[in-house]
Chain A
Amino acid sequence: MSELIRLSAADLADKIHKREVSAVEVTQAHLDRIAAVDGAVHAFLHVNTEGALAAAAKVDEQIAVGEVASPLAGVPLALKDVLTTVDEPTTVGSKILENWLPPYDATVTERLRAAGVVILGKTNMDEFAMGSSTENSAYGPTHNPWDLERIPGGSGGGSSASLAAFEAPLAIGTDTGGSIRQPGAVTGTVGVKPTYGTVSRYGLVAFSSSLDQAGPCARTVLDAALLHEVIAGYDPMDSTSINQPVRPVVEAARQGATGDLKGVKVGVVREFRGEGYQQGVIDCFDAAVQQLRELGAEVVEVSCPHFKYALGAYYLIAPSEASSNLARFDAMRYGLRVDGGALGELSAEEVMSLTREAGFGPEVKRRIILGTYALSAGYYDAYYGSAQKVRTLISRDFSAAFEQVDVLVAPTTPTTAFKIGERIDDPLAMYLNDLCTIPSNLAGNAALSVPAGLAAEDGLPTGLPVMAPALADERMYRVAAAYEVARDAAQGGPLINRVPELEAISR
Chain B
Amino acid sequence: MPSISRDEVAHLARLARLAVTDDELDLFAGQLDAILNAVAQVSEVSQQDVPPTSHAVPLTNVFREDVVRPCLTQQQALAGAPAAEEGRFRVPRILGEEQ
Contacts and interface: CB of A to CB of B under 8 A. Distances in A.
A349 interface: yes
A104 B83 CA distance: 20
B37 to A, nearest CB: 9
B50 interface: yes
Contacts of B4: 373
Contacts of A442: 56
B80 A368 contact: no
A369 B46 contact: no
Interface in A154-173: none
Question: Looking at chain A, what size class is its interface with the partner chain?
Answer: 35 or more
A242 B90 CA distance: 39
Interface of B, secondary structure class, is loop
Nearest to B13: A369
A338 to B, nearest CB: 9
Interface residues of B, number: 58
A386 B43 contact: yes
A373 B39 CA distance: 13
B35 A428 contact: yes
A450 interface: no
B68 interface: no
In the A-B complex, the 5 residue pairs with the closest CB atoms: A444-B56, A388-B52, A337-B82, A334-B80, A391-B53
Interface in A196-240: 196-197, 210, 236, 239-240
Given A383-B39, A385-B46, A210 B92 contact: no
Given A103-B76, A368-B16, A196 B57 contact: yes
Contacts of B40: 312, 382-383
27 contacts: A100-B80, A101-B79, A103-B79, A210-B54, A239-B59, A306-B45, A309-B41, A315-B35, A330-B17, A352-B17, A353-B19, A354-B19, A357-B18, A357-B19, A365-B20, A366-B31, A369-B12, A369-B13, A373-B4, A387-B39, A388-B52, A389-B48, A389-B52, A393-B50, A395-B53, A428-B31, A445-B56
A236 B64 CA distance: 7
A150 B17 CA distance: 35
A469 to B, nearest CB: 12
A64 interface: no
A334 B81 contact: yes
Given A309-B42, A369-B12, A373-B4, A332 B79 contact: no
Contacts, number: 191
Interface string A344-359: 1011111111101100
A125 interface: no
A339 B53 contact: no
Contacts of B39: 311-313, 315-316, 383, 387
Interface in A358-383: 360, 362, 365-366, 368-370, 372-373, 376, 381-383
A53 to B, nearest CB: 25
Contacts of B14: 353
A392 B55 contact: no
Interface centre among B16, B28, B50 (most CB of A within 10 A): B16
A370 B80 CA distance: 29
Contacts of A348: 91-94
A316 B64 contact: no
Interface in B1-55: 4, 8-9, 12-21, 24, 27-28, 31-32, 34-36, 38-46, 48, 50-55
Contacts of A5: none
B96 A390 contact: no
B32 A369 contact: yes
Contact of B42 (A323, A336, A370, A383): A383
Given A343-B92, A381-B46, A356 B17 contact: yes
A354 B92 CA distance: 13
A507 interface: no
Contact of A390 (B17, B38, B45, B62): B45
Contact of B72 (A103, A344, A351, A385): A103
Nearest to A104: B72
Nearest to B45: A389
Contact of B80 (A311, A333, A352, A427): A333
Interface centre among B52, B54, B56, B72 (most CB of A within 10 A): B56
B54 to A, nearest CB: 6
A424 to B, nearest CB: 12
A51 interface: no
A335 interface: yes
A268 interface: no
A428 B76 CA distance: 41
B9 to A, nearest CB: 6
Nearest to A376: B12
Contacts of A389: 42, 45-46, 48, 50-53
Contact of A101 (B13, B41, B80, B83): B80
